[in-house]
Amino acid sequence: MWALLSLTFSFTECDNSTETYKLINSTNLAKQGCESRCGDLIVPYPFGFGNDTSCSIDEGFHIYCNKSVHPHKASFSETSPTWIKAISDSTLRRSNLLASNCSFPDGSWSSYNISSDYTLWPFTISKVNKFTVIGCDSYAWLTSATTNKNVSTGCLVFCSKPDEVGGLDECSGNGCCQSSIPQDITSFTTRVNSLLDSGNLSDTRWFAPCTYAFVGEENVFNFSGITDLKATDVNDTRVKDKIESTVPVVLEWAIGKLSCAEANGTKNFACQSNSICINSTREAGGYRCACKEGYQGNPYLSPGCQDIDECTDPKKIPCYGNCVNTIGNYTCTCKGGFFGDAKVENGCQPRNVALPVRRWRDLLSRRFRAWIPHTTDRIISVALNGQAKKAN
C-alpha cells in the first residue's frame, strides 16, 4: 500500500476560470541566493527549496528537488512517490496515485489502497477534483476528513461483458463512474473491491481484470472505453502509468490559519507593501497575498509589489495619445488640438472639425437623445457646427 504524506488548507475561489499565475511571472521569484527552478517547474516564494534553509516562508512550503533524474523533478520530500507539476497563485498540482484491484485469468492478483494526509501542511484537496473509478462489476470508496468531521463518498461500475462498457469520454457507470469529493478535506483513503465473489470473477477478468480508483482534476481524465480496462498481467501498468502522469491532483494552499484581520499587524504577516490580503474560505482559515491593481511582483517578498509603468507596454495597455505613468495607475489623454477618448483607436478627433452625424449621435447623452429621438441629420449638423465654433 502506498502511503503518501502530504499537506493541509483550502482557498477562496479555486476553479480553473479564476486561477492566476502572476507569482511565477514576477521578476522577483525567490529570495536572494535561493533557486527558483527545478527542471521545468518554476517555484515562487513563499515556496522554496531545502528543509534547512530560509528559502521558503516556513517548513510547510519546503520543496525537494531531485536532481538525480532528468529532467529534474520537484516533490514534497525526498521519499515522496509523487512529483509537483505546477504552482499557481492559489493551487499546487501534483502527480497522481491510483488504488487498484486486479485479478487475472492465470490466478495472479494485486491490490493497492492509497492514503494521502495533509493535516499538518498548508494544503487542502481542491473541489475541482473528482473521484473516478474505472473497471467492471466493482466499487470503490473514499473515506476522508476535514478539520471538523469525517466524510465519505463512493462509486459503482457495472459491465458483465465488453459491449456494456461505455464509449470514449463516457463516465456514467458502465465501466467508468465519477462523483464529487467533499469540500475542505485534508486527508483521504481510497479502497477498491469487487461486487462479485471469487467464484464469479472469471466472468469479467478475461476482458477487464483491473479496477482503478483515483482523485484527480475534473475534465482532465478522458475515458478510453474498453482500452482502459485491459491489462495482460500484474506487470502491465500502462493505464496506471498514463493516469498517474497526466491527471493531476489539485491542492489549494494558504498562509497560516489566521484571517487577514487577525494576521495584519503581527510580525509574521506575509503580505508586503502595495499588496492586498485575501481571506481563505477553508475551515481552518488562512490567507493569501496579491499585488494591488496597477502593481506587479511577488507580494510575499520585500520590498513588496512595484508600480507598473503602463506606458511601456502599448500592446497590452494601448494609448493613442499622451500616456503618463502615475503611481499605481496612468493617464491617457488626447494630444493638443484633439479631444475624445485616447484609450480607443480613432477615439481622438480634431477640435476644429465637426464630427460625422453618426459619431455625434453616439456622443449625445441618453437624456438629450431621448429628447430628440427623431432629429434630422441636418439639424444635428447645424448643432455640431455651433459646438465647433465655440470650441475654437
Of the candidates 355, 346, 349, 358, the residue with the CA atom closest to the CA atom of residue 387: 355
Residues 93, 251 contacting (CB under 8 angstroms): yes
Counting residues of the chain whose pLDDT is more than 70, the rounded percentage is 83
**DSSP string of 333-391, one letter each residue:** EPPTTEEE-TTSTT-EEETTSPPPHHHHHHHS-HHHHHHSTT--HHHHHHHHHHHHHHH
Q: Do 248 and 136 fall within a single domain?
A: yes
Q: Which of 32, 57, 89 is the last residue of a domain?
A: 89
C-alpha cell at 351: 477640435
Residue 19 backbone class (left: φ over 0; alpha: ψ -120 to 50; beta: rest): beta
Of the candidates 231, 247, 250, the residue with the CA atom closest to the CA atom of residue 239: 231
Q: Which of 252, 286, 320 is the last residue of a domain?
A: 252
Q: Do 169 and 299 fall within a single domain?
A: no
Domain range for 321 = 309-351
Q: Give whole-number Cα distances, 330 to 273, 295, 313, 344, in Å.
A: 20, 11, 12, 15
CB-based contacts of 68, cutoff 8 Å, min separation 6: none
Residue 167 has pLDDT above 90, yes or no: no
Of the candidates 211, 210, 214, the residue with the CA atom closest to the CA atom of residue 232: 210
Distance of alpha carbon 80 from alpha carbon 57, whole angstroms: 21
Q: Do 61 and 153 fall within a single domain?
A: no
Q: Do 139 and 65 fall within a single domain?
A: no
- Residue 141 is predicted with a pLDDT of 94
- Residue 4 is predicted with a pLDDT of 32
- Residue 106 is predicted with a pLDDT of 80
In a domain? residue 12 = no
Q: Do 187 and 216 fall within a single domain?
A: yes
Q: Do 290 and 387 fall within a single domain?
A: no
Distance of CA 314 to the CA centre of its chain: 29
**DSSP string of 248-316, one letter each residue:** PEEEEE-BSSS-HHHHTTSTT----TTEEEEE--STT--EEEEEPTTEES-TTSTT--EE--GGG-TTT
Q: Do 303 and 313 fall within a single domain?
A: no
Distance of alpha carbon 41 from alpha carbon 75, whole angstroms: 11
In a domain? residue 14 = no
Q: Do 174 and 234 fall within a single domain?
A: yes
In a domain? residue 15 = no
Task: For 19-35, write each residue's pLDDT tens digit.
Answer: 899 999 998 999 999 99
* Residue 327: CATH number of its domain: 2.10.25
Q: Give whole-number Cα distances, 138 to 83, 115, 193, 255, in Å.
A: 29, 20, 6, 40
β-bridge partners, 213: 99, 133
In a domain? residue 218 = yes
Q: Do 321 and 374 fall within a single domain?
A: no
Split at pLDDT 50, 70, 90, the class of 387 is very low
In a domain? residue 293 = yes
Average pLDDT estimate for 357-381: 49
Residues 275, 291 contacting (CB under 8 angstroms): yes
C-alpha cell at 42: 518554476
Task: For 222-264, write each residue's pLDDT tens digit.
Answer: 998 888 888 777 788 889 899 999 999 999 999 999 999 999 9
- Residue 52 is predicted with a pLDDT of 72
Peptide bond into 71 cis (omega under 30): yes
Split at pLDDT 50, 70, 90, the class of 1 is very low
Total domains in the chain come to 5
Within 10 Å of residue 225's Cβ, how many Cβ atoms?
17
Q: Do 126 and 197 fall within a single domain?
A: yes
In a domain? residue 341 = yes
Counting Cβ atoms within 10 Å, is residue 204 exposed (0-12), middle (13-18) or buried (19+)?
A: buried
Q: Do 181 and 144 fall within a single domain?
A: yes
- Residue 322 is predicted with a pLDDT of 95
- Residue 28 is predicted with a pLDDT of 92
In a domain? residue 2 = no
- Residue 108 is predicted with a pLDDT of 81
Peptide bond into 303 cis (omega under 30): yes
Distance of alpha carbon 83 from alpha carbon 69, whole angstroms: 12
In a domain? residue 198 = yes
> Which of residues 105 and 212 earns the better pLDDT score?
212
Q: Which of 89, 118, 145 is the last residue of a domain?
A: 89
Q: Do 160 and 212 fall within a single domain?
A: yes
